[in-house]
Amino acid sequence: MMPIGDDNTGRTTTPYVNYLLIAVNIFVFIYYQRLGTNVDFLMRYAAVPGEILTGRDIVGTNDLGPSPVPVYTTIFTSMFMHGNIAHILGNMLYLSIFGDNIENAMGHLRYLVFYLLCGVLASLAHVLMAFFLGDGLLVPSLGASGAISGVLGGYLVLFPKNRVRIWALLFTFRVPAVITLGIWIIMQVVSQVNTIGNSEASGVAYAAHIGGFLAGMLLVRFFANRRQLGKVRI
């Protein structure tokens, strides 16, 4: 099952920031990452939990290369990188579906800050999980998934009754967002539990998804406009 659209009847503004975020992600993937084939770029700009924890560049281990930027800034650079075409297509699909409503509820600038902050907190959640489990500390992480998970968390709070159009095999149907996103976050938690002790094999930073989602649910009340907040109970 895959979401392919949602209810946009309440949207009153053009989501310029959401369009910009999608464009930047696609540009980085095509121009700098060369459709995911530029491994050297990935190793230099992806976020590595061990580097974030120590504050220093780790070179030569696990094919890691020297980062031309301070290691902490890789939390931001990694948010605009993706591993392969399927990775970026999936992320941009979710962002295009759910991001415009959140931008409409927050305004352009606040939405941008919200998105980036959720991405940072999602990355930190992944770093902390790697630290506590002692697993995957030298595995680079990248992708907009954490920030987009924050968008999903905010969407669940602000638009729980919005209908999300789901595609499954040859059929499409509409499901309330509270069910769609509720199932999604449960799947992330279950997947995280199942990968404990073997996170490197999973290839997915589920802790970042969970951390971003929770961050979005908590932060949305500080970023959404009062008119939108008045429509929901928080």
The CATH number that applies at residue 125 is 1.20.1540.10
**Per-residue model confidence (pLDDT) at position 92:** 98
Q: Would 42 be classed as within a structural domain?
A: yes
- In this predicted structure, what is the pLDDT of residue 186? 97
Residue 109: which H helix or E strand, with range?
helix 108-133
Looking at residue 118, its amino acid is C
What CA–CA distance (Å, rounded) separates 48 from 105?
A: 33
147/192 Cα distance (integer angstroms): 18
Q: Is residue 3 domain-resident?
A: no
Q: Does the structure show a pLDDT above 70 at 134? A: yes
Structure tokens at 99: 């991001």
> How much is the average pLDDT of 196-205?
72
- Give me the percent of the chain exceeding a pLDDT of 90: 79
Does residue 4 fall inside a structural domain? no
Q: Is the pLDDT of residue 233 over 70?
A: no
Residue 121 lies in domain: 14-229
Q: Any idea which of 83-87, 183-187, 203-207, 210-214 has the lowest mean pLDDT?
A: 203-207
Q: How far, CA to CA in Å, does 91 sit from each of 27, 75, 141, 190, 230?
A: 14, 17, 15, 20, 30
List 172's β-bridge partners, or say none.
167
**Closest alpha carbon to 144 in 126, 124, 119, 120:** 119
CA torsion, ordered 51, 54, 59, 65, to nearest 10 deg: 30
Q: Is residue 7 part of a domain?
A: no
Highest mean pLDDT among 30-44, 143-157, 191-205: 143-157
The total of structural domains in the chain comes to: 1
189 in any annotated domain: yes
> Whole-model pTM above 0.85?
yes
CB atoms closer than 10 angstroms to residue 134 = 8
Residue pair 86/172 in contact (Cβ under 8 Å)? The answer is no
Q: What is the mean pLDDT of the chain?
A: 93
Q: Is residue 73 part of a domain?
A: yes
Rounded mean pLDDT, 12-41: 96
Asked whether residue 1 is domain-assigned, the answer is no
Domain assignment present for 6: no
Q: Tell me what the mean pLDDT of segment 91-112 comes to.
A: 98
Task: Give all strands of the β-sheet with 171-176 in edge-to-edge order.
Answer: 2-6, 163-168, 171-176
